[in-house]
Structure 1
Amino acid sequence: MSGLKLTNVKKSFGAVEVIRGVDLDIADKEFVVFVGPSGCGKSTLLRMIAGLEQISGGDLFIGEERMNDVDPSKRGIAMVFQTYALYPHMSVRENMGFALRFAGANKAEIETRVAEAARILELEPLLDRRPGQLSGGQRQRVAIGRAIVRHPDVFLFDEPLSNLDAELRVHMRIELARLHQELKTTIIYVTHDQVEAMTLADKIVVLRDGRIEQVGSPLQLYDDPNNIFVAGFIGSPKMNFFRGIAEPGGIRLADFPGQIIPSPVTLAEGTEVTVGIRPEHFSAEGIADLDVIVEIIEHLGGETYAYARDKGADLVTIATDNNRTLKTGDRYAAKFDPADILVFDNDGQRLR
């Protein structure tokens, strides 16, 4: 079992720098998720850890050993890719044991490790089937099993659920969380899906443009984002943002000039800010409100979301406590507690 340490790690393709000085500590047995929009560098960073991309600058340590120039096969890692990459002519048993057979392991050891992985992943009834006889979720479990049999120090997952349908994604998230609890090993997982990040991670690393924006537990990032990017990226539906200006008594919102909201932070008069309110922070108990007209209603069974605006204002997303009487065209007072708002400066940095 091993932790990892990245110190000022950089990656360039010619003159284009795609990873721009990443510093990160990953503890032994931690489940860490790299999340961010497409092109942010999360998969490149994972491939650098795996040894599939050379490190242009900085240092990578797995355990106490510097790994910059160590061959991928000797790093003690196993990687599960977005595509299953199973051999179609081999059985599940043969696919899972192939890497061990290629490495020269004896038959008894291969059988023992394959049987152990099959038990963990509930693949025992499928061992004699071929990939073409399996569902997408079963194929993904075989790909994970192929990694488990190697007994790696670190598992690397590169968007492994992106090819699955919504129901299978939920099921596989649960399976991966259970797998981490059973194996008790270090896992680094890449996804662009912040719901996956929130539900799986011990620690989330939010990336943008090759840099780390913030690192923390899912709830730390949700409750206490450092900037407007993290605040908007973490959370579904995403946070609402409003332009505002500080006045005596609080913040006047540009789209709702009749409302001055008490500010949770001290601001100089005339300071331009952005105010963030999460959809679930609208409630019937708030002392402030936004007067809006409902445009769209989403009834999701256990919860209801209203999308509303006033005149030319931006659309506001409101969680309505499963209000089933609300209709399109209704005027609605979206109440909230000013203590729940977040305030950001013109550079997008959080004001505390």
Structure 2
Amino acid sequence: MSELQLSDVRKSYGGFEVIKGVDLDIRSGEFVVFVGPSGCGKSTLLRMIAGLEDITSGDLTIDDVLMNDVDPSKRGIAMVFQSYALYPHMTVRENMGFALRFAGVPKAEIEKRVSEAAGILELGPLLDRKPKQLSGGQRQRVAIGRAIVRHPKIFLFDEPLSNLDAELRVHMRIEIARLHKQLAATIIYVTHDQVEAMTLADKIVVMRGGVVEQVGSPLDLYDDPANLFVAGFIGSPKMNFLKGVIEAADGRTYARLPDYGDARIPVNARAAPETRVTIGIRPEHFNDQGSASLDLTIDMLEHLGGETFAYARHGNGELVVIETKNGRGLKAGERIAARFDPACALVFDADGKRLR
């Protein structure tokens, strides 16, 4: 169990700054996910925590001990990479115990730790197999087992499921969530997949361009994004964004949507008239009882059994994604009044900042 703090941590390569002043507190036992698009700096930040990248400036502490210049092997951290990196000539048992043998741990203790980890990961029947005899999911479990036997303070996962097919990724997400609960471990996990982040994390750190955009629980980020980037990144299908102009009438504030027949919807946001804004509406917030509506024509229907996603637009405007439970009666080319509750709409200014 361990607490970790990052204080104004920065990383530069020559004159190019990759990590631009990250402040973050990770509590003991938390499952924290770094998420963001490729190149946002999430893997670099993870490698700095591991000691595989130097910290240009700022402080990294674990349990109040400064770790900036501590050797990676002495930080009490174990890392699981995207690549399984198993030794092909060794058995599962030998792969899992290799780091302990290298560190001079007694043979009996190695056997004990390997057996414990194999039990946790249900690898017992596979201990005498070679990696080539294992599936991708089994190899990843061996890589995780290799980390568990070291009894680390903190587990680091760098996109560990990227090489697996869709079904195996779902299964391994369940396995990793179960592992976290069983070990009560502190886990820092990097992914570009926001579905992984939403399903695994206690706390999500959304990054872009070396900067932390927002930190919070999965549902806090989903329901209350701080800016346009977080709103669009968290959620699948992504939030719909409609261009609007603020108007005032009858003591109320409205957003007029020029690309949607000048539809006017009431908004709860402080903004002066004529301010250009973006209105965000999630696909599931469309429903027949909503007081606001958009006149749209359906381009395509995506039937998924229990739900349907309608892709519709007004004239030649941007596509709007609508989630509906009543999609079986809809047809492509059909005109619809897509209703929604305006209280669910979020408002963002021209710089992408949330207006409240």
* TM-score where L is the length of structure 2: 0.98
Is 1:275–1:343's contact at 8 Å kept on the other side of the alignment? Answer: yes
2:21 maps to what in 1?
A: 21
Is 1:30–1:185's contact at 8 Å kept on the other side of the alignment? Answer: yes
For 2:261 and 2:303, locate their aligned partners in 1 and report how far apart those are by CA, in whole Å.
30
CA positional deviation for 1:140: 0.2
1:38 maps to what in 2?
A: 38
- Percent identity between the aligned chains? 72
User: Is 1:274 matched with 2:259?
Assistant: no
| SS of residue in 2 equivalent to 1:327 | coil
Is 1:4–1:27's contact at 8 Å kept on the other side of the alignment? Answer: yes
CA positional deviation for 1:303: 1.6
For 1:309 and 1:257, locate their aligned partners in 2 and report how far apart those are by CA, in whole Å.
11
Change (3 A) 1:98 1:322: farther
CA positional deviation for 1:322: 4.5
User: Is 1:323 matched with 2:330?
Assistant: no
1:253 maps to what in 2?
A: 257
CA positional deviation for 1:232: 0.3
Instruction: Please provide the CA RMSD for this pair.
Output: 0.8
Q: Give the one of 332, 337, 342 matched to 2:336.
A: 332
For 2:270 and 2:174, locate their aligned partners in 1 and report how far apart those are by CA, in whole Å.
43
Q: How many residue pairs get matched?
A: 352
For 2:6 and 2:264, locate their aligned partners in 1 and report how far apart those are by CA, in whole Å.
46
CA positional deviation for 1:269: 1.4
2:95 maps to what in 1?
A: 95
Is 2:35–2:207's contact at 8 Å kept on the other side of the alignment? Answer: yes
| SS of residue in 2 equivalent to 1:182 | helix
User: 187-196 or 285-294, which moves further after superposition?
Assistant: 285-294
User: 331-340 or 261-270, which moves further after superposition?
Assistant: 261-270
* CA shift digits 1:258-283 (9 cap, x unpaired): 31101122332111111000000001
Runs of 4+ in 1 over 4 A off after TM superposition: none
| SS of residue in 1 equivalent to 2:328 | coil
Is 1:35–1:193's contact at 8 Å kept on the other side of the alignment? Answer: yes
User: 196-205 or 292-301, which moves further after superposition?
Assistant: 292-301
User: In structure 1, what residue type is equivalent to 2:206?
Assistant: V
For 2:338 and 2:125, locate their aligned partners in 1 and report how far apart those are by CA, in whole Å.
54
CA positional deviation for 1:127: 0.6
2:112 maps to what in 1?
A: 112
User: In structure 2, what residue type is equivalent to 1:82?
Assistant: Q
| SS of residue in 2 equivalent to 1:160 | coil
1:177 maps to what in 2?
A: 177
* CA shift digits 1:290-332 (9 cap, x unpaired): 1111111111122210111011210101001252121111111
Give 1:136-147 correspondences, 5 Å limit. Answer: 136-147=136-147
Is 2:7–2:58's contact at 8 Å kept on the other side of the alignment? Answer: yes
2:354 maps to what in 1?
A: 350
* CA shift digits 1:232-270 (9 cap, x unpaired): 000000000011001124110121133110112233211
1:235 maps to what in 2?
A: 235
Is 1:82–1:159's contact at 8 Å kept on the other side of the alignment? Answer: yes
User: In structure 1, what residue type is equivalent to 2:223?
Assistant: D
* CA shift digits 1:43-99 (9 cap, x unpaired): 000000000000000000011110000000000000000000000011100100001
Q: Give the one of 314, 318, 338 matched to 1:314.
A: 318
* CA shift digits 1:19-53 (9 cap, x unpaired): 00000000000000000000000000000000000
For 1:88 and 1:69, locate their aligned partners in 2 and report how far apart those are by CA, in whole Å.
33
Is 2:50–2:79's contact at 8 Å kept on the other side of the alignment? Answer: yes
Is 2:310–2:327's contact at 8 Å kept on the other side of the alignment? Answer: no
2:130 maps to what in 1?
A: 130
User: 256-265 or 222-231, which moves further after superposition?
Assistant: 256-265
1:162 maps to what in 2?
A: 162
Is 2:31–2:203's contact at 8 Å kept on the other side of the alignment? Answer: yes
1:292 maps to what in 2?
A: 296
For 2:20 and 2:278, locate their aligned partners in 1 and report how far apart those are by CA, in whole Å.
27
Is 2:261–2:295's contact at 8 Å kept on the other side of the alignment? Answer: no
Is 2:213–2:230's contact at 8 Å kept on the other side of the alignment? Answer: yes
For 2:63 and 2:262, locate their aligned partners in 1 and report how far apart those are by CA, in whole Å.
58
* TM-score where L is the length of structure 1: 0.99
Is 1:242–1:254's contact at 8 Å kept on the other side of the alignment? Answer: no
Is 2:32–2:187's contact at 8 Å kept on the other side of the alignment? Answer: yes
2:53 maps to what in 1?
A: 53
| SS of residue in 2 equivalent to 1:152 | coil
